[in-house]
Structure 1
Amino acid sequence: MELRNLKTFLEVADSGNFTKTAQALGYSQSAVTAQIKQLELELGVPVFDRLGKSISLTEAGKKLYQYAQEMLTLEQDALESIKNKETMSGELRMGIEESLVISFLPDILYYYRFLHPDVDLIVKVMDFKSMLAALKDNEIDLIYTLDRLYEKTDLARPRQLAEPIHFICASSHPLAVKESVSIEEIVKEPFIFTGSDVNYRLELEEQLAKRSLHIRPLLEVQNTDIICRLVSMGIGLSFVPECVSRSYVDDGSIKILNVPEVSISMYRQMLFYKDKWQTPQMKAMIHLLTEIDF
């Protein structure tokens, strides 16, 4: 029994006229007649008494009228319930690069929670390869990463922002007062590196290898904020995204070094599968990350 036929049945019962029903619903009169006939065939009994130009409900029609109203009310309640649930609650799963956590995640969480307080936001800190695998396995809905520009066509990339990667040292370090520093001077210094699989470290090592140079790290630390704290204490130099070191540069504890031979940028990118259905929760995060300059 189609809901469309029940809607037509209720309209005919209320208006008492097939022609008026056709006009109200935008159907031809023959379509209205066909829907009522289909309904009567399914029920096995007539729902209207037709006496000349006037029609009235049969006993079966009166019973159907009550059930039809309840069924259509239930349909409307179901639609509203599902729509409200998707816009006001539900879940969003997001992967984010570690380098972006300290600089951007607090603001992203604050604004998203302020705008959508009933959505459960699940954030996983992952490297880029792990994020792509989780995205493919539908374990997360979208990712916010810092990497080389993603050029493949399977993922949507609504926004990308270049993020310079800089050499940094403590403001008290002798190199901090120099207008420019050579890469040969850099590689002689104690160095605090990120993990060996971090994209901008790999890019730097590729450029150094072309010059037959190599940095042997004093320490390898996964957390970029800890790296900046160690650098500010004078323990060594490092190579990190500008967004990571910004607060330390602003408070004067760290200095960005000008190294003309090395110029590396990565891109802050939001990525998700083009063919994935975008839930209201996803659309809200996409809008947030594309419209607000974090």
Structure 2
Amino acid sequence: MNTNDLKIFEAVATSGSFTKAAAAMFTVQSNVTARIKSLEEEFGTELFTRTSRKVELTEGGQTLMQYCKQIGHLVAEAKSNIQSSTKINGNLKVGCIETTMVFKVPEILNRFAEEYPDVELEFKSDMRNNLINDVLNYKLDAAFVTAPVNIKGMAQINIKEEQLVILSSSNGPKLNELLQKQPLKIIVFDEGCVFRARLESWLSSKGIIQYKSIVLNSIEGIINFVEAGLGISLLPEQVISHYYSGRKIMSHSLNKQLGTMNTVLISREDVPQSRALKVFIEMYSPSIAAKHGVI
């Protein structure tokens, strides 16, 4: 077995086809079949169930897939660290939720680029659970997500505590009046958004279970809809006070349990970290963060 065998195995698992895997690996199907057969003999178990329509991982194949991801990650880190013994370079993939992407990523990029110009920093915005899964599956090196994150093998650094507020139009009815309307309209991101989940929990605490969700994919869109009186929403107070203070929007405080949001920076702790990832994480250690005003 060699690393190329594992790459062929991953290609079959990802594509669900020996033919597609052969094309992706620039080889012939007979070689793919032979390499998979060799792996199955070496591990003493079938790695795929084969039908006329699809190839799927067996339980043993799923286990090997997890190890393949770890091995691929380790090989990439080894190459990066060996080839760059005198300077910090490489590629970092970092995830974050929408508000971090829009308002914090530009300053993070500028600050990090000034200190480590040879590191390529790539950001991805997504829902919390997707970001956590991407870190677990080596698709992201780290991610800014909301706490708590209680997962074995996951390291985390406390970044910031924020206050969340309910938003309504200052030109429309008072919040109490809006809550009496049937159906109440809420302006939110898609399912999986922490702000949407908090807003729905708050409504539930008020005994409101009937409401209409208007789903948007940007903060600017949510602000515009709320300002126009099309519904209520929930976002961090700092976002509103720093970037939308001039808009015709009213902010309404929440209790501590629902109104407090803690952000953490997560990464895997069960694999060696690249030097690029180490310096990125160190930037958010309490002493350095306080010195530079990070997040």
Interval of TM-score (by shorter of Structure 1 and Structure 2)? 0.5 to 0.7
Query: Are 1:84 and 2:86 an aligned pair?
Result: yes
Corresponding residue of 1:106: 106
Corresponding residue of 2:245: 250
Given the superposition, is the C-alpha separation of residues 187 and 202 from structure 1 closer, same or farther in structure 2, using an over 3 Å criterion?
A: farther
Deviation at 1:218, TM superposition (A): 5.2
Given the superposition, is the C-alpha separation of residues 284 and 173 from structure 1 closer, same or farther in structure 2, using an over 3 Å criterion?
A: farther
Which one-letter code corresponds to 1:109 in the other structure? Answer: L
Q: Map 1:1-294; keep pairs closer than 5 Å.
A: 82-85=84-87, 87=88, 89-145=89-145, 147-175=146-174, 181-182=175-176, 185-186=178-179, 188=181, 189-214=184-209, 216-217=211-212, 219-258=214-253, 263-290=258-285, 291=289, 292-294=293-295
Preserved CA contact (<8 Å) 2:199 2:233: no
Deviation at 1:260, TM superposition (A): 6.1
* 1:158-206 per-position Cα deviation (integer Å, ceiling 9, x unaligned): 224222221112333343xxxxx54x74363533122132123223323
Preserved CA contact (<8 Å) 2:190 2:215: yes
Deviation at 1:221, TM superposition (A): 0.9
Preserved CA contact (<8 Å) 1:163 1:242: yes
Runs of 5+ consecutive residues of structure 1 not aligned to the other structure: 1-78, 176-180
Which one-letter code corresponds to 2:137 in the other structure? Answer: D
Preserved CA contact (<8 Å) 1:162 1:267: yes
Preserved CA contact (<8 Å) 1:103 1:243: no
* 1:95-147 per-position Cα deviation (integer Å, ceiling 9, x unaligned): 111232112111111111122122111211121222122112211111112x2
CA RMSD of aligned residues (A): 2.8
Question: Alignment partner of 1:158: what SS?
Answer: strand
Preserved CA contact (<8 Å) 1:102 1:225: no
In the alignment, the residues of structure 2 paired with residue 159 and residue 249 of structure 1 have an alpha-carbon distance, to the nearest angstrom, of 26
Normalised to the residue count of structure 2, the TM-score between the two structures is 0.61
Given the superposition, is the C-alpha separation of residues 95 and 276 from structure 1 closer, same or farther in structure 2, using an over 3 Å criterion?
A: same
Preserved CA contact (<8 Å) 1:143 1:270: yes
Question: Alignment partner of 2:221: what SS?
Answer: helix
Preserved CA contact (<8 Å) 2:227 2:247: no
Deviation at 1:264, TM superposition (A): 2.6
In the alignment, the residues of structure 1 paired with residue 256 and residue 123 of structure 2 have an alpha-carbon distance, to the nearest angstrom, of 37
Given the superposition, is the C-alpha separation of residues 227 and 211 from structure 1 closer, same or farther in structure 2, using an over 3 Å criterion?
A: closer
Preserved CA contact (<8 Å) 1:100 1:244: no
Corresponding residue of 2:42: none
Corresponding residue of 2:77: none
Normalised to the residue count of structure 1, the TM-score between the two structures is 0.61
Deviation at 1:276, TM superposition (A): 2.5
Question: Alignment partner of 1:277: what SS?
Answer: coil
Question: Alignment partner of 1:168: what SS?
Answer: strand
Deviation at 1:265, TM superposition (A): 2.2
Corresponding residue of 2:34: none
